[in-house]
A and B are shown apart, each in its own frame.
Chain A
Amino acid sequence: MIAFLLRRTAFLALTVLLASMLVFAVTNLLPGDPARILLGREAGPAALAEVRAELGLDRPVPVRYATWLAGAVRGDWGDSFATGDPIGGLLAERLGNSLRLAGVTLVFAVPLAVLLGVVAAVQAGRWPDAVVSLSSLAVVGLPEFVTGIVLIQVFAFGLGWFPANASIPPGTPFLEALPSLVLPAATATLVMLAYVARLTRASVLEELRRPYLRTALLKGVPRRTVLRRHALRNALLPTITVVAISVGWLISGLIVVENVFNYPGLGRLLTFAIDRRDLPLLQAVTLVAVVVFALANLVADVLYAWLDPRIRLA
């Protein structure tokens, strides 16, 4: 298990390192001069050169990459072009908010989605399956921004139950922030729900076709017991992978959802950085999201190996 853990962690570190190179390369080698962005179109060559030197842009790219990475590891991300503030503090606060929203979403979405997927598989071909499959198909076709706007119209403007604008001030305690979290989390939940339920249904169905299940049924074990004791236990293993994959889905979804509700998370910060052409902020937000995504995958791998010895021994 320890060897497996080390191997996975090393692989993860390598991937994150490669991704950080990619993020840095994209933001530095593609057209778009930060000095020009800072100073505007009319700046003269002398002023441009001065700002470039100040930002360290006159040094070779590998040196700049090393400086940037070393800073990032220590939590020193430099200053934002747009606001002039250190990026580190901003990043920590927004990451906290995004994790809060993601947490609430996962707590609702995962158990519900697994339940729906299992029901659909066990009742395959009957009406509960048809209902679950049809509604998940309908939800798959709905972009998050449409769902979010509809929920705002109904529950914020129509019924007045929850606020439409989720822009909570920094440092709001969790319980106070909760009403603002409900609609964004519900929007993200709907999207995850369809996706996870569909994949859970598929994995349970596959398990139900295995010969050992037929053997159990034929030797007289009641169907309910076979389902609970044999099929579900094995079918829920792949579901862990599904949930981990859907974290990538969730990150994409949250970027959109945070922008619909004006929720102060990483996704909102990302579009802010793009609007203002704030390259250091863009790099920082992207890298943090990459690390979160990689860690989620690692957690899933470890959980899976812990539950299924065949994986870690292979």
Chain B
Amino acid sequence: MTSPRAAGATFVGGGARSPRRRGALGVLRSLYDRPASAIGTSGVLVFLALAAVGPLVTPYGPTEQVLLDRAQAPSAAHWFGTDRLGRDVFSRVVAGARDILLLAGGGTALAVLLGTATGLWTSARGGWIEEVTFRLYDALLALPALLLALLLLGTVGPSRSSVLLVIAVAYTPIVARVVRSVVLSVKAREWVAAARLQGESPRWILLREILPSVLPALAVESALRFSYAIFLVASLGFLGVGVQPPSPDWGLMVAEARDYVYLTPWSLAFPAAAISGLVVSVNLAADGLGRALRSGA
């Protein structure tokens, strides 16, 4: 009983394989066990692929104006139509996919990294460092995410990098809390005590004995945060305090198309559908991920 894996095996009573042993590919495969999470995962993969090869598949540049083709309905030449300024909506939606995935994904990744590092280290140590860190996080959480984002952006001014940082600041405390709750419940377990008695260094115990138990909860929380971050980026874009024109941000596109919705409804409908599609996909995949990790752990 010196490793978490052994303890995990006795916990489920033999037989069952842990998700860590199955590996990332195994978890991905189990996401395809149920139709809902299969649809969600496929959706996420499609958006990721679009974001990766974006400029290769789009016929126009995201800010390119074809002045003769202004306000065109969807057609063979312009799959999603064109907006009032003659920009190809399909090209803009695809370019926007890269934008929003980089911002929401990067911000979430930063939050997960910071939240895990601080949550893991301070709550394993305890004492005043833990107290101060989590009081600071409480203060941050006293502001709903969008309010905190607006406060920060209102002060530093809107830009792409500030949007990314704002997401990281807003979600770090939440991730840290999730990590902390797992650490506190695991810290007193027998395998951690065994490692300590064996004379392992605190860093070894933290990274090799405690971190693996945190990973399933962390994975699900990250997926959930990612879907909220997409929403946040889109909302900030819509409110005009996030990504600035003429960038092909989906929320910004909805705001720009709003006044001309009777003229070019498609230039509003497609970016709106893209936001919904991506958020629903991430949600479904997150649900599936939670189920896969719980059943395997």
Contacts and interface: CB of A to CB of B under 8 A. Distances in A.
Q: Do A and B come from one complex?
A: yes
Interface in B239-297: 239-241, 251, 254-255, 258, 261-262, 268, 272, 275-277, 279-280, 283-284
A26 B279 contact: no
B157 A293 contact: no
Contacts of B276: 138, 141-143, 146
A98 to B, nearest CB: 12
B143 interface: yes
Contacts of B268: 149
Contact of A141 (B138, B139, B280): B280
Contacts of B231: 143
A140 B254 contact: no
Interface centre among A16, A18, A27, A275, by most B CB within 10 Å?
Answer: A18
B188 interface: no
Interface in B55-102: none
Nearest to B258: A149
Interface centre among B140, B151, B152, B272, by most A CB within 10 Å?
Answer: B151
A30 B255 CA distance: 28
A18 B138 contact: yes
B83 to A, nearest CB: 15
Contacts of A137: 280, 283-284
Contacts of A157: 262
Nearest to B235: A256
A282 B151 contact: yes
Contacts of A289: 143-144, 147
Contacts of B156: 30-32
B258 to A, nearest CB: 6
Contact of A140 (B143, B255, B279): B279
A22 B140 contact: yes
Secondary structure dominating the interface of B: helix
A286 B151 CA distance: 7
B145 interface: yes
Contact of B154 (A31, A140, A252, A282): A282
A141 to B, nearest CB: 4
Contacts of B142: 15-16, 18-19, 22, 290, 293-294
A274 B280 CA distance: 31
Nearest to A274: B154
B234 to A, nearest CB: 6
A82 to B, nearest CB: 12
Nearest to B136: A18
B110 interface: no
A249 B147 CA distance: 10
Interface in A27-50: 27, 30-32
B201 interface: no
A252 B234 contact: no
Contact of B280 (A27, A30, A140, A144): A140
B239 A141 contact: no
A7 to B, nearest CB: 15
Interface in A148-186: 149, 153, 157
Interface centre among A18, A274, A275, by most B CB within 10 Å?
Answer: A274
A145 B235 contact: yes
A45 B229 CA distance: 41
A279 interface: yes
B146 interface: yes
Contact of A271 (B239, B258, B279): B239
A21 interface: yes
Contact of A18 (B135, B239, B262): B135
B153 interface: yes
A22 B240 CA distance: 24
A251 interface: yes
A248 interface: yes
A244 interface: no
B143 A149 contact: no
B150 A270 contact: yes
A259 interface: yes
A294 B145 CA distance: 14
B238 interface: yes
B138 A15 contact: yes
A145 B255 contact: yes
Nearest to B250: A143
Contacts of A271: 150, 239-241
Nearest to A247: B144
A23 interface: yes
A138 B154 contact: no
A273 interface: yes
B155 interface: yes
A290 to B, nearest CB: 5
Contacts of A249: 144
B254 A149 contact: yes
A252 B258 contact: no
Contacts of A286: 143, 147, 150-151
Given A140-B280, A143-B235, A274 B150 contact: yes
Given A143-B238, A149-B254, A149-B261, 4 more contacts: A142-B272, A146-B254, A273-B154, A274-B241
5 contacts: A22-B139, A22-B142, A23-B143, A256-B238, A274-B150
Interface of B: 135-136, 138-140, 142-147, 150-157, 231, 234-235, 238-241, 251, 254-255, 258, 261-262, 268, 272, 275-277, 279-280, 283-284
